[in-house]
Structure 1
C-alpha cells in the first residue's frame, strides 16, 4: 500500500511538472517574436480554426513552427475570438500582439483622396491606383457608373447627359482591403446627395435656380472660379445677379470644360466665339451639367450668396478677385490686372 501511494505521488509530481512545463512552454510561445514586415497584410477567412490559423502563420512565414497555437487558444479561450478580415501587421511584434489584433477585428485601413474642383476623369485615375481596392468598374463607361450610383433624377437633363462630374462628394475616404471601387463611389454619391439636398432645402428665397441640379451646376462654376472660401459667396452673387438680369455668365472655366482635350492652357478669342454646350460666352444661362466636383463651401455659397450689385470680377494679382458693378469699372480692373501681370513678367 505504501508503495502504491509512493507511485501515485510520483505520478502526480510528474503530471504536475508536465503541466507546469507545458504551461511555461505555451507562455513562452505566446511571447515569441514573429517575422512580420511593416507593410505586410494578413487575411483571415471566416471559420478559420486554430489548426488552420497555425498553418496560415507558417505559410505566411510569421513563425517557423506554430504547432503550439491550437493548444494556446484552448488554454486561453479569450484569445480565440478570431474575427475574419485583412489586417496590417505594422507594429505587431509577438504572437500575443498578433492574436490581440485578430481578436480586435480592427482591419487594415487605406484611403483615397478625392479633391474638389477636379473631374471624374481625374478622380478615376486615383481610384484605379488605390491599393488593395477591388476594381469592378474598369470596363464600365462613365454613363454606366452613373446609372449604378442611382443619381437622383432632379430634372430630365441629369439623365440625358449622365455626366458624373459634380455628383460625388470630395473628401478622403477610408476603406478596408477587398472593398470595391463601386462601394466607395456610392458612399461619395450619397454624401453629395445629402449635402445638395440640405443646401437646396435651406437656400435663400428667390434664387433664379429651378432645381438642385441647377444649384449644383452653379456651385461647380463657383468652385472653379475661386479657391478662396471667403469670397465664394461674393462670386456666387455675381452669377446670381447675371442670371436675374438675363446676362450671359461669360465664365472661362465653362469654356475650358467645353473645349475638352483641345484646351492647351490658353483661351483665345476664337475659343470664346466657338459654340459648345458649355460656352457661356455663347449660350444663355447655365451649361447643361456641372463642370467639376464641388465642395460643401461652394454649395453653401450658391445657397446663400452675398447681396451685392456686382456683375463682374477679375483676378487682382494677389490670389483673389476685384469685383465691379459695370463694364466700365470692369475694364479698368482688367487693365490694372494686365499692368500687374506685365510687371511680374518683366521682373522675371
Structure 2
C-alpha cells in the first residue's frame, strides 16, 4: 500500500512539475514578434478558443492551457475581442491577459481619405465591423444627425492622425472619438475666431482646406492658393477648382481637365456652381486647415502650375497675366504629352 502511495506521489510530483514547466516557460509556437488571438462574438467557449489556439499554432501546449484556464475560471469571464500574444509569453501570462480582458490596442491610421468607401474599407479591415455596415452608417443622415453632420459633411469630423481603439469597438464609438478630437481641435488656438473672421463655419473652413490639400504639397503655395480662393469667394466668383472636377468625376487619376468635364452637373463642380461645394473632397491635414485660417491677404485671383513642372504655381491678380502663364503651361504640357506618346514604351 505504501509503495502504491509512493508511486502515486511521484506521479503527482512529476505531473505537477511538467504542468508548471509547460505553464511557466515560453509557451508560444510562432516565430513572429507577436500574433493575435481573435475571440469572436458567440465563439468564446472553451472549445472554440482551444480550437483557435491549435489551428493558428499560437501555443505549444493547448491542453495544458485549457486546464490552466479552467482552473482560473476564465471561460465564464472571457469577452470577445482581439488579444496580442507576444513571442515568448508563458501560458500563465496569456491566461492572465484573457482573465483580465486586456485586449490589444488597434491603431487606426488615417491619412488622406477622399470618399466614404475609403473609410469603410479602412475600418472594415482593422475592426470587427463590416465595411458594408460602415457605408450604410455613412450614407444615413439619421445615423449622422447626433454628430451634427450629414452625408456631405461627415468627413469634417475626421482629422488625419493615429487613433487607438479595441478591435470590437463599434463604428458609432469610433466616429464619436473622431468627433471629440475634432471638437478639441476647434477649441484651441483661436481657430473658431479665425474662421468667423473669414465668415466661415468650421465645416466650410475644412471644406476649403480639402481643396487646397488636393492642389499642392508645397506649404508656401498652399497659403497663396487659400488666399486666392478666399478672394474669389469674397467677389462672388466661382472657385473653378480642378480637384473638385476630379471628385465630381470620381476619377482621381485625371492629369488634365478638359472642357467636356466642366459640364458635369455634380454640386461639387465648382466651375458651374458658385461658392464652396456641399462638403470636403478629402480629409486635409490639420496643418492645411491652419494654413487656410491664417492665409495671407493678397490681391491674387488666379493661379496656374508652372511650366517647369516643379509643382509650384504662378499667381496673378489679373486675368491677362494669368492667361499668359496658362498658355505657357499648356504649351509645355502639350510637348510633354507628345514626347510621352512617342516614347518606346508606347
TM-score when normalising by structure 2: 0.73
Alpha carbons of 1:53 and 1:106: their partners in 2 closer, same or farther (altered >3 Å)?
same
In 2, are the aligned partners of 1:114 and 1:170 still within 8 Å (CA)? yes
In 1, are the aligned partners of 2:68 and 2:95 still within 8 Å (CA)? no
Partner of 1:228: 218
Give the number of aligned pairs.
325
Partner of 1:4: none
Alpha carbons of 1:123 and 1:55: their partners in 2 closer, same or farther (altered >3 Å)?
closer
Q: Does 2:26 correspond to 1:28?
A: no
Partners of 1:117 and 1:342 lie apart in 2 by: 31
Alpha carbons of 1:44 and 1:254: their partners in 2 closer, same or farther (altered >3 Å)?
closer
Q: What pairs with 1:113-132 in structure 2 (closer than 5 Å)?
A: 113-116=109-112, 118-128=114-124, 130-132=125-127
Partner of 2:343: none
Alpha carbons of 1:67 and 1:96: their partners in 2 closer, same or farther (altered >3 Å)?
closer
Partners of 1:195 and 1:172 lie apart in 2 by: 15
In 2, are the aligned partners of 1:196 and 1:299 still within 8 Å (CA)? no
Partners of 2:86 and 2:177 lie apart in 1 by: 28
In 1, are the aligned partners of 2:192 and 2:202 still within 8 Å (CA)? no
Q: What pairs with 1:131-150 in structure 2 (closer than 5 Å)?
A: 131-135=126-130, 137=133, 140=136, 142-144=138-140, 146-150=141-145
In 2, are the aligned partners of 1:41 and 1:89 still within 8 Å (CA)? yes
SS in 1 for 2:129: coil
Partners of 2:134 and 2:14 lie apart in 1 by: 57
Deviations 1:201-238 (A, max 9, x none): 241674143x2232222222212222333432221111
Deviations 1:39-91 (A, max 9, x none): 4415499xx9xxx87995577334253289549978xxxx9xx9855312241
Partners of 1:262 and 1:347 lie apart in 2 by: 23
Q: What pairs with 1:163-174 in structure 2 (closer than 5 Å)?
A: 163-174=153-164
TM-score when normalising by structure 1: 0.72
Alpha carbons of 1:72 and 1:21: their partners in 2 closer, same or farther (altered >3 Å)?
farther
Q: Does 2:292 correspond to 1:292?
A: no
Q: Does 2:293 correspond to 1:303?
A: yes
How big is the alpha-carbon RMSD for the aligned residues of Structure 1 and Structure 2? 4.3
In 2, are the aligned partners of 1:36 and 1:89 still within 8 Å (CA)? no
Partners of 1:344 and 1:92 lie apart in 2 by: 57
Q: Does 2:94 correspond to 1:94?
A: no
Q: Does 2:310 correspond to 1:318?
A: yes
Q: Does 2:199 correspond to 1:201?
A: no
In structure 1, runs of 5+ residues without a counterpart are 1-9
Q: Does 2:295 correspond to 1:333?
A: no
Deviations 1:233-288 (A, max 9, x none): 22111111122223221111223333447997653223324554233223222223
In 1, are the aligned partners of 2:117 and 2:135 still within 8 Å (CA)? no
In 1, are the aligned partners of 2:191 and 2:293 still within 8 Å (CA)? yes
Q: What pairs with 1:247-262 in structure 2 (closer than 5 Å)?
A: 247-260=237-250
Alpha carbons of 1:19 and 1:147: their partners in 2 closer, same or farther (altered >3 Å)?
same
Alpha carbons of 1:64 and 1:87: their partners in 2 closer, same or farther (altered >3 Å)?
closer
